[in-house]
């Protein structure tokens, strides 16, 4: 018996994605995500990220097909033989980061990030940050535009644009990467074990306000942020054989 009889289709708002949604729903049927064996996301990387966030704890595998632009997290779009492709697909398991942000007025906020947790200066003045890893201060003062903690899945996104390292998808690591560092001038970040807890304290928060962002969830005027991998949450991403996320991340390091 096939494992993926009940398919839930979700799509971005673009015309191309909407057309694909109608065609595939008519051909294969469409059930509610909570009743599905698999969720098929039609759009770009943003839609795939959004779909994963919406179903973080459902443990339903997600198979993306590119109806957007870059499509790094997605498979090629084809209308034919979808169920056969799903049966043959390889599964990549990833874990999000949990961000706990403390505001200047005492409020505490939590959010999950699949790609990265980032801290940014809010005004023209550079941020001053202190970085602690597992209760040991590793950098007493970092003057910068910001800093981020990226998962292996997110290491090819904003982390790469900030000149951070690309991490193999199965590596038990996190990337700690500064954004436009001014002092220390030559600090380019660090690779951390995925079990590490990173605490980032904002120095002079009144004079140099900082916001904290977990993927697309932002909290402004924070005074400290803790980041740790949420290993108890499994996200199942499905890829066609030979085009897995692990292969794409490896290929990215060779420029293709």
19, 37, 45, 215: which is the annotated catalytic residue? 45
pLDDT confidence of 208, banded at 50, 70, 90? Answer: very high
pLDDT in tens, 44-75: 999 999 999 999 999 999 999 999 877 788 99
Three-state SS at 69: coil
Question: Could you tell me where the beta strands, DSSP code E, fall in the chain?
Answer: 7-11, 38-43, 62-66, 90-94, 97-103, 108-113, 116-121, 127-133, 136-144, 146-150, 173-179, 190-193, 198-203, 210-214, 217-219, 222-229, 235-239
Counting residues of the chain whose pLDDT is more than 70, the rounded percentage is 98
Instruction: Let me know if domain 97-229 sits in CATH 2.60.200.30.
Output: yes
pLDDT at 171 exceeding the cut of 60: yes
pLDDT for 245 equals: 81
pTM: 0.91
Considering the four listed CATH numbers 3.40.50.10330, 1.10.760.10, 3.40.50.2000, 3.20.20.140, the one that applies to the domain covering 7-94+234-252 is 3.40.50.10330
**51, 35, 42: which is closest to 79 by C-alpha?**
42
Sequence ranges of the domains in the chain? 7-94+234-252, 97-229
- On whether the CB atoms of residues 147 and 119 are closer than 8 A, the answer is yes
**47, 105, 94: which is closest to 74 by C-alpha?**
47
pLDDT for 160 equals: 94
Q: Which residue has the higher pLDDT, 136 or 247?
A: 136
Q: Do 7-94+234-252 and 97-229 come out as alike in CATH topology?
A: no
pLDDT in tens, 77-119: 999 999 999 999 999 999 999 999 999 999 999 999 999 999 9
Counting residues of the chain whose pLDDT is more than 90, the rounded percentage is 89
Task: Measure the CA–CA gap between 175 and 53, rounded to whole angstroms.
Answer: 21
- On whether the CB atoms of residues 11 and 20 are closer than 8 A, the answer is yes
Three-state SS at 44: coil
pLDDT for 251 equals: 82
pLDDT at 2 exceeding the cut of 80: no
pLDDT for 254 equals: 81
Strands 222-229 and 97-103: antiparallel
pLDDT confidence of 256, banded at 50, 70, 90? Answer: low
Q: Which residue has the higher pLDDT, 3 or 85?
A: 85
Region label for 104, one of left (φ > 0), alpha (ψ between -120 and 50) or beta (otherwise): alpha
pLDDT for 197 equals: 98
Task: Measure the CA–CA gap between 166 and 96, rounded to whole angstroms.
Answer: 17
pLDDT at 226 exceeding the cut of 60: yes
Q: What is the chain's length? A: 256
pLDDT at 1 exceeding the cut of 70: no
- On whether the CB atoms of residues 38 and 7 are closer than 8 A, the answer is yes
Whether 134 is a known active-site residue: answer no
């Amino acid at each position: 018996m096939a494992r993926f009889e009940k398919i839930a289709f979700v799509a971005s708002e673009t015309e191309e994605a909407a057309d694909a949604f109608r065609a595939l729903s008519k051909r294969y049927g469409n059930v509610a995500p909570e009743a599905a064996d698999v969720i098929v996301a039609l759009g770009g990387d943003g839609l795939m990220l959004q779909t994963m966030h919406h179903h973080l704890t459902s443990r339903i595998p997600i198979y993306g097909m590119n109806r957007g632009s870059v499509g790094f997290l997605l498979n090629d779009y084809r209308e034919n033989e979808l169920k056969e492709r799903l049966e043959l697909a390889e599964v990549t398991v990833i874990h999000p980061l949990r961000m706990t942000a403390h505001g200047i007025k005492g409020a505490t906020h939590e959010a999950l990030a699949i790609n990265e947790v980032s801290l940014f200066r809010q005004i023209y003045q550079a941020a001053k940050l202190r970085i602690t890893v597992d209760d040991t201060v590793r950098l007493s003062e970092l003057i910068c535009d910001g800093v981020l903690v990226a998962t292996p899945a997110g290491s090819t996104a904003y982390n790469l644009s900030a000149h951070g390292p690309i991490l193999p998808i199965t590596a038990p690591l996190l990337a700690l990467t500064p954004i436009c560092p001014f002092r220390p001038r030559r600090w380019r970040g660090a690779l951390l074990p995925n079990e590490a807890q990173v605490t980032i304290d904002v120095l002079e928060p009144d004079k140099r306000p900082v916001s904290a962002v977990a993927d697309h969830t932002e909290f402004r005027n924070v005074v400290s942020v803790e980041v740790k991998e949420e290993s108890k949450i499994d996200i199942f991403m499905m890829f066609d054989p030979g085009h897995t996320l692990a292969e794409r991340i490896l290929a990215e390091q060779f420029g293709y």
